[in-house]
Amino acid sequence: MYKTWNFSSRFAKVSLLLLLCAVMLLSCKKGGSSPDALDRDTSYAFGMLMASQLGDFGIMGMSFDYEAFKEGFKAFNEASETRLTPNVAMELINAAITRIHAQSNERMWLEGEQNREAGEAFLAANGARSGVVTTASGLQYEVITQGSGRRPGPENTVRVHYEGTLIDGDVFDSSFRRGEPVEFPLWRVIVGWTEGLQLMNEGSTYRFVIPSDLAYGPEGSGAIPPHATLIFQVELIAVVD
């Protein structure tokens, strides 16, 4: 009969998931008496919670043999004999996580390469347009409205309105849509913004096309995929300090 799991450092990958399992053991035998089973909806909710934790390991959406999953959970939860030792179980889990992460990394790499190639083609076409200036770093900008106010430096904080899109036109962020401008110091934003905002005077609106290496690079960020070339329309409202 196997009940105690080994929480040594070599199993750190799944320690959070095991802690969740420990929480769920509230429904197992205590002091030789069996408490009433949780109702159907509460049991379902615990299943949802357990599945949600898989996202912490980057493996949301994993498909299981659900009969075997239920068998393993029930055996462990009810303190009956399990057909795998904890060590073997952890080795299988770690191997699955490693395999899924490797597949995910390969997909991300392929997506990144496709985005990089598409971005390079977009930059080449955009750079040939009249009114578009390409700087030494590869940043491209186009003046929509030229203001005459103060120009920020790299240590200044600015107040701006902006909208950011991918090259396919998908909007991933927009202060215009939120109806409220934002303030930030230029040294805290992506390189393309730090460079681009210093070209603007207060009252200006520019359109920037930012290569991925001046944006979020091979990792991406949130809704921004790996190696994405980004387009921003930015209105510089004020240099705050």
Q: Which residues are known catalytic residues?
A: 162, 172-173, 190, 216, 232
Contact 28, 73 (CB under 8 A): no
Parallel/antiparallel/unpaired status of strands 171-174 and 140-145: unpaired
Residue 206's CB is within 10 A of a number of other CB atoms, namely 22
Which residue carries 């450092």 as its tokens? 9
Distance between CA atoms of residues 90 and 94, nearest Å:
6
Distance between CA atoms of residues 78 and 29, nearest Å:
6
Distance between CA atoms of residues 126 and 193, nearest Å:
18
Q: Which helix (H) or strand (E) holds 18?
A: helix 15-24
Residue 183 neighbours by CB under 8 Å, 6+ apart: 157, 158, 159, 160, 240
